[in-house]
Amino acid sequence: MRGTHVGARWAIAAGSLVLTVGLTACGSDKSDDDKAGDKTGGDRSGHSAMSPLAALKLASQQTDKKNSAKVEGTTQMGEQNSQMTGAMDWADGIRANMSITQKGGAIANSPMAGKPMDARYTPDAMFLNMGDEFAAQAGSGKHWVKYDYDVLAQKAGPSGAFLKDQMQNNNPSRSVELLLATGKVKSVGSEDVKGVKATHYTGKVKVSEIAKMQSKELSQSDLDALQKQLESSGMDTETIDLWVDGDNLLVKKREQAQSNSGAYDSTVFYSDYGTKVTVTEPSSSDTVDFQDMLQQ
């Protein structure tokens, strides 16, 4: 029984960060420095004739049309760090294959710390391979843990419902859309991103308004409750930086914020748009449901 309890804690610690990889938590800011018409810098990779909002609108359209891309990045949440690499497809819900390595925080003393874990995302659930030690000690011989989005929505209330919405609908262009929704963004010049010339855009958003700006499924009562949860976390505003290449495609995004639990800093690179992504669910005979672990 003790092994099951420990395994559940491993599954919670590992899953909490993996689920949020690549997601954005933002709103709008009132700063007069980030007005839509602001233009700075010289050459902007072909975007110099456009206002920042016009350039980002085009980038959102072009990025969304591509349907898939290879991704790699890092996410820091307090003391916990995650590195990921893989590919995702957003043509019809989110499908992705990722290799994710986590260190520090709640995961520090677990057998998964510092070891690459395979993660598979489908429109309905995420599957995380917890490794041989988990299978032997807590997984009843099974390596994969299934995180069903419907179950998470039921267990976690408004924040779970929002997470479900994000996992089923999130894609690279939504970060661009968030800045567009604020109406306040500026260009800060041209930079090199892994050998690609790209225009750098930046803006600030209020975390408390993220759900209203992104979610299509939550009721007003859920939105109000979620806003209170976000405000109690101590995370007020988030800075989003986006890099768009000469083909009007997002090639890099960085999100930064402070909360009661420490700093949040996520950077993701996108490349090889249009790459083929095939996701196969793990065998049910090698999968344990996260809900069953909690009940045990």
Spatial CB neighbours of 63, under 8 Å, sequence gap ≥ 6: 171, 172, 173, 176, 248, 249, 250, 270, 273
pLDDT of residue 13: 57
**Cβ count near 252 (within 10 Å):** 21
Please report which confidence band the pLDDT of residue 7 belongs to, taking 50, 70 and 90 as the band edges. low
The conformation of residue 260, written as its DSSP 8-state character, comes to T
- Domain 2-295 in this protein, CATH class: mainly beta
Q: Is the per-residue pLDDT at 250 higher than 60?
A: yes
Residue for token digits 């003790």? Answer: 2
Instruction: Note the helical H segments in 52-131.
Output: 52-66
Q: Is the per-residue pLDDT at 15 higher than 70?
A: no
Q: What is the mean pLDDT of the chain?
A: 78
Please report which confidence band the pLDDT of residue 23 belongs to, taking 50, 70 and 90 as the band edges. very low
pLDDT of residue 24: 37
**Is residue 201 within 8 Å of residue 248, measured between CB atoms?**
no
Pairing of strands 237-245, 95-103: unpaired
Tell which wins on pLDDT, 100 or 108.
100
For 191-231, how does the pLDDT look when each residue is reduced to its tens digit (9 = 90+)?
999 999 999 999 988 776 665 665 556 667 766 766 666 66
Which of the residue ranges 143-147, 214-218, 248-252, 286-290 would you say has the lowest mean pLDDT? 214-218
Burial class (CB in 10 A: 0-12, 13-18, 19+), 115: middle
**Is residue 157 within 8 Å of residue 37, measured between CB atoms?**
no
Domain ranges of the chain: 2-295
pLDDT of residue 49: 58
H or E stretch covering 140: none
Spatial CB neighbours of 11, under 8 Å, sequence gap ≥ 6: 128, 130, 134, 145, 290, 293
For 122-132, how does the pLDDT look when each residue is reduced to its tens digit (9 = 90+)?
989 989 998 88
